[in-house]
Amino acid sequence: MNAVSAKPYRTVVVGAGGHAKVVVDILRTSRTYEVIGCIGREPGGQVLYVPVLGDDAMLPLLLEHGVRHAFIAIGDNATRLRLAQHVQSLGFELINAISPLAYIAPSAILGCGIAVMPGCIIQPDTRIGSLTIINTAATVDHDCIIGEACHLAPGSTLSGNVTVGDGSFLGTGTVVIDGVRIGAGCMIGAGAAVIRNVPDQTLAVGVPATVKRLMNQE
């Protein structure tokens, strides 16, 4: 007798923009999760033929109807963290969206609510904090530590033993050499080459990357 296959977990994607589109595309490859809809600012419309059900007010109703799993598909780090805390407080379990076209070493440790896009490589003994985005074709080498709610934009390259603090954003094509620490709440400009430590809450740009200002200054 053939074993009965388990039904996939019904899942809601919080977000209805471009990032949500990529997440929905990834989750469609999973036999574990079934995306039943997206949460956006207004009902109506679709994300890759998945309906936008309404705004955050829909979430308690979805719970009542047995939807227990969620993914926060919001690109902005602070907003993603805030919404994740809200969704978890309601009782949802956050899932990961990991492309089958990414490589993740078996010894890597991942939190929850993480997106790993196609073409990514995450090497051995790396730790990725919850709610972090490892975007298209980004590479994270051995023994890196990536904090909570970070975003490594497409094509970012981290050498071994790099640390990235909570809530930091590394722009498209950022390159970071071995052993560098990027602080919490930083923004690294697209195409920057980071060859020395970057303090918390700073903007760094250029080749090599230099600190321009504190993030809370205009």
Q: Residues annotated as binding site for substrate?
A: 75
Residue 128, helix vs strand vs coil: strand
19 catalytic residue (yes or no): no
Identified catalytic residue from 19, 69, 86, 142: 142
Give the HSE-up count for residue 195: Cα atoms under 13 Å, Cβ half-sphere: 6
Q: Binding-site residues for acetyl-CoA, please?
A: 151
Rounded to the nearest angstrom, the gap between the alpha carbon of residue 49 and the centroid of all alpha carbons in its chain is: 22
Pairing of strands 210-214, 202-205: antiparallel
Beta carbons of 37 and 59 less than 8 angstroms apart: no
Measured at the alpha carbon of residue 109, what is the angle toward residues 103 and 110, in degrees to the nearest 5? 80
Q: How far lies 174's CA from each of 185, 192, 206, in Å?
A: 16, 5, 10
Residues marked as catalytic? 142
